[in-house]
Copies of this chain bind each other. A is one copy, B any other.
Amino acid sequence: MSNEISHRKRPKGSEEKRSAILDAAVTVFSRKGFANARIEDIARQAGIGKGTVYLYFPDKESLFKSLVASAVEPILEHADRFLSEEDTSPRETMTTVYDMIDTHILQSEKRHIIRLMITEMSYFPDIAAYYHTNIVSRGLDLLRKLLIRADARGELRSQHALKVPQMVFAPVVMSVIWNALFARFESIDTHAAFQFYLDSLFQSADGA
């Protein structure tokens, strides 16, 4: 909706402008990567002047970090709520989580931000630290609990899953990376990946 190539008309309100810059940044960072993105391109894409970017973000790195934050924070709230639900079956919970991820990340412009996190975060150790502490490790804790609950109910197919809860994210990561590198040549069936994972993680309580 807002990531055409055309230069949009000047946004007015201050918060709107901040958000226009972030939108433009996703586009440009996605296309070029952090190092090759020019602030001037982001400004033009946002329909504002180059100097204006610096009224909203102190420097290029902060802009990138804000971008990541703007994408990740809303996700966390949802996740928190759903993963803690204990009155639904683990498979149902996980199905819901995957649906949410599919809808709110993979199908939205946010998938670009997730890709940028994956490809650029190793060069921003402080971002990595921040998100590990605040998001990843908390997410893994919730997942571990979910898997343990599934195991207790006899629904966990492989004990190995308990040792690598990170793999639950594999369909997301693989989908994002595959599309970044090879979408031009060959698509990846993300839904099948989710289904495959649900089948891999869970079985009905009778072991079938």
Contact = CB atoms under 8 A, between A and B. Distances in A.
B137 A186 contact: yes
Interface stretch (A11-19, A74-82, A158-166): A158-166
Interface centre among A121, A161, A166, A190 (most CB of B within 10 A): A166
A90 interface: no
Closest 9 CB pairs of A and B: A35-B35, A200-B200, A163-B192, A160-B196, A158-B199, A170-B170, A119-B119, A160-B195, A122-B180
A90 B133 CA distance: 40
A164 B196 contact: yes
B192 A164 contact: yes
A interface, by DSSP: helix, strand, loop or mixed? Answer: helix
Say how many copies of this protein the assembly contains: 4
Interface in A121-145: 121-123, 125, 128-129, 132-133, 136-137, 140
Contact of A189 (B121, B137, B164, B197): B164
